[in-house]
């Protein structure tokens, strides 16, 4: 932490941002000083991304003000942020893969040899790029095609580009998520250089060990509000975790404990190179098994692998006591499994099709004779599910496009139900739906297990996991890093396990070493 306290380069005051149905940021303050590494901490959905998107001009705030060196600034689009000396390096890089390093660094600002003809001065382009790379002591050829560079080098090109823009503040969103240990060391070296030159860094990371090594101050966000800004050196990791979580289980979960029956699904050593590393789990009748983990901990990939949507390199799946070969989703559905995907719009609904057609898509074979549909019977069937799930739609022929998010989610669930599934894989089942609809989804899950179904529920909302699960597995980097029973699970313990993965927990089934 710097000895004196210079005037902040950036001050964000009482920033408010609303999305339909959600208050994403509720009066958040953030100040960042020159030459400081300022860490943003918070659980998934705490508002970190929204805050940096406002800072970089992707979102417009609904309230609050932004000051740059004490004077009010208007950031209406990414170009404004750039002009104010703010650059953002996202997890997905903004580089054109088939252009050279130099062309990328000066994209849109190419030095010209003839302004009238718009001719690019290639020599100046390469020379000036080399200057920026040298400043960072980087050994990357300015003429190299970006596609041929490794991830870490591409990240460095992004940083060089930020420097060439005379950036005074660089936002880095989980920059180490994709790097190896050695690459992380190099990145930290570069960040320290930037700090010495007075560049401010806003650093988002879930890895608290990194935060301790690199951070000067940390601002903790929770549920769209600022909890506190602390000095990293003076705050133990446990305290940081407590600040991130520190919330009562205020929401209501209609949890009913159901007698747990026999095992219906067992996964043994599921492995997909570079993604899943020997994941094993068991799921029993009447049980809700929660899967916790951070973004990128490969929970969705686990669900997709179980459902046959992605191929496995090794491992096996046992369904109701018999080994099963699930090599495509059609097989999973025949085995009475259902997947309610995380990304409803991309993977769940068929938006240009009707409610009826969506509901029956997975079970359409049941309403056909010789390939021809019995439309009346199909409609009765669809109505049954639409009614029992209380899908709010004027009629069954309404395109799903026109339903609200909560109702769309119910349509996706109805699609799973209608194929008579009794093993459900719910991936973020309540994401993006309002509180009322959430409770309905919870009730439905309870009804399902009461009828003897088994549910695997991936969720990034810890209260939901704790409120609904009988057992919770924690994933970290494609491995199961811990297991908790309903009684022993706490938010702190789960988050700790998801973040650090080294918490020994009773009953934990550690993945075998790869």
Least gap, CB of 385 to other proteins (angstroms)? 14
Six token digits for residue 233: 């050196």
Stretch that binds other proteins, among 139-147, 185-193, 212-220, 339-347 (CB under 8 A): 339-347
Residue number, 371 or 487, with CB nearest to other proteins:
371
Contact call for residues 113 and 120 (beta carbons, < 8 A): yes
Least gap, CB of 98 to other proteins (angstroms)? 19
Angle, CA of 292, 227 and 208, to the nearest 5°: 50
Six token digits for residue 430: 């309540």
Q: 368-407 mask for other proteins (x: CB under 8 A)?
A: x--xxx-x----------------xxx---x--xxxx-xx
Residue number, 200 or 421, with CB nearest to other proteins:
421
Question: How far is residue 37's CA from residue 228's CA, in Å, rounded to a whole number?
Answer: 16
Residue number, 104 or 393, with CB nearest to other proteins:
393
Stretch that binds other proteins, among 5-13, 220-228, 318-326, 352-360 (CB under 8 A): 352-360
Q: What is the dihedral of CA 347, 353, 354, 357, to 10 degrees?
A: -70
Least gap, CB of 350 to other proteins (angstroms)? 4
The H or E element spanning position 497 is: helix 491-499
Find, among 405, 87, 54, 457, the residue nearest to 288 by Cα. Answer: 457
422 lies in the binding site for other proteins (CB under 8 A)? no
Among 362, 429, 478, 501, interactor with other proteins by CB under 8 A? 362
365 lies in the binding site for other proteins (CB under 8 A)? yes
Stretch that binds other proteins, among 35-43, 211-219, 355-363, 443-451 (CB under 8 A): 355-363
19 lies in the binding site for other proteins (CB under 8 A)? no
Find, among 340, 313, 356, the residue nearest to 459 by Cα. Answer: 340
Residue number, 11 or 342, with CB nearest to other proteins:
342
Residue number, 19 or 402, with CB nearest to other proteins:
402
Residue number, 52 or 412, with CB nearest to other proteins:
412
Among 54, 142, 245, 339, interactor with other proteins by CB under 8 A? 339
3-state secondary structure of 81: helix
- What is the C-alpha end-to-end distance of the chain, expressed in Å? 40
With b for 16 or more beta-carbon neighbours within 10 A and e for fewer, the 432-446 pattern comes to bbeeebbebbbebbb
Contact call for residues 28 and 225 (beta carbons, < 8 A): yes
3-state secondary structure of 58: coil
Stretch that binds other proteins, among 28-36, 74-82, 169-177, 330-338 (CB under 8 A): 330-338
Among 61, 278, 341, 482, interactor with other proteins by CB under 8 A? 341
Residue number, 133 or 425, with CB nearest to other proteins:
425
429 lies in the binding site for other proteins (CB under 8 A)? no
280 lies in the binding site for other proteins (CB under 8 A)? no
Least gap, CB of 372 to other proteins (angstroms)? 6
Question: How far is residue 56's CA from residue 78's CA, in Å, rounded to a whole number?
Answer: 6
List of residues 6+ apart from 223 with CB closer than 8 A: 26, 45, 46, 47, 247
Question: How far is residue 462's CA from residue 435's CA, in Å, rounded to a whole number?
Answer: 15
List of residues 6+ apart from 117 with CB closer than 8 A: none
Least gap, CB of 404 to other proteins (angstroms)? 4
Question: How far is residue 11's CA from residue 70's CA, in Å, rounded to a whole number?
Answer: 8
Find, among 147, 106, 149, 108, the residue nearest to 128 by Cα. Answer: 106
333 lies in the binding site for other proteins (CB under 8 A)? yes
What is the contact surface with other proteins in residues (CB under 8 A)? 307, 309, 328-330, 332-334, 339, 341, 346-353, 357, 361-362, 364-365, 368, 371-373, 375, 392-394, 398, 401-404, 406-407, 415, 419, 436
């Amino acid at each position: 932490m710097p000895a004196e306290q210079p005037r902040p380069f950036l001050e964000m005051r009482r920033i408010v941002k609303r999305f339909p149905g959600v208050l994403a940021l509720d009066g958040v303050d953030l100040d960042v000083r020159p030459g400081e590494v300022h860490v943003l901490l918070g659980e998934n959905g705490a508002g970190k991304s929204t805050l940096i998107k406002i800072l970089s001009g992707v979102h417009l705030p609904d309230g609050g003000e932004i000051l740059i060196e004490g004077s009010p600034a208007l950031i209406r689009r990414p170009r404004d942020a750039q002009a104010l000396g703010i650059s953002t390096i996202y997890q997905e890089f903004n580089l054109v893969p088939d252009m050279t390093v130099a062309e990328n660094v000066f994209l849109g600002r190419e030095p010209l040899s003839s302004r009238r003809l718009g001719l690019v001065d290639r020599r100046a382009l390469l020379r000036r790029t080399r200057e920026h790379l040298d400043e960072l002591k980087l050994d990357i050829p300015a003429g190299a095609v970006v596609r041929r560079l490794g991830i870490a080098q591409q990240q460095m090109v992004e940083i060089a580009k930020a420097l060439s823009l005379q950036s005074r503040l660089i936002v880095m969103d989980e920059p180490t998520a994709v790097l190896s240990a050695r690459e992380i060391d190099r990145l930290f070296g570069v960040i320290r250089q930037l700090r010495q030159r007075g560049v401010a860094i806003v650093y988002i990371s879930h890895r608290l060990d990194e935060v301790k090594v690199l951070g000067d101050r940390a601002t903790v966000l929770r549920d769209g509000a600022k909890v506190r800004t602390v000095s990293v050196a003076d705050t133990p990791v446990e305290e940081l975790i407590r600040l991130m979580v520190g919330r009562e289980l205020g929401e209501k979960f209609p949890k009913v404990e159901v007698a747990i029956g026999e095992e219906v699904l067992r996964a043994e050593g599921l492995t997909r190179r570079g993604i899943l590393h020997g994941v094993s789990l068991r799921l029993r009748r009447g049980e809700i098994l929660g899967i916790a983990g951070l973004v990128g901990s490969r929970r969705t990939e686990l669900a997709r692998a179980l459902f046959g949507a992605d191929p496995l390199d090794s491992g096996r799946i046992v369904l109701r006591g018999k080994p099963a070969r699930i090599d495509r989703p059609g097989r999973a559905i025949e085995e009475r499994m259902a997947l309610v995907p995380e990304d409803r719009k991309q993977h769940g609904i068929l938006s240009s099709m009707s409610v009826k057609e969506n509901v029956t898509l997975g079970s359409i074979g049941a309403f056909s004779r010789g390939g021809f549909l019995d439309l009346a019977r199909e409609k009765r069937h669809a109505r049954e599910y639409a009614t029992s799930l209380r899908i709010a739609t004027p009629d069954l022929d309404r395109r799903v496009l026109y339903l609200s998010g909560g109702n769309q989610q119910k349509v996706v669930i109805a699609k799973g139900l209608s194929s008579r599934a009794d093993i459900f894989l719910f991936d973020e089942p309540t994401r993006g739906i309002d509180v009322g609809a959430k409770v309905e989804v919870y009730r439905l899950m309870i009804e399902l297990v009461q009828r003897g179904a088994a549910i695997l529920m991936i969720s990034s909302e810890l209260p939901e996991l704790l409120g609904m699960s009988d057992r919770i597995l924690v994933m970290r980097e494609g491995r199961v890093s811990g297991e908790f029973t309903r009684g022993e699970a706490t938010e702190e313990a789960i988050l700790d396990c998801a973040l650090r993965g080294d918490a020994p927990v009773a009953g934990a089934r550690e993945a075998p070493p790869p």
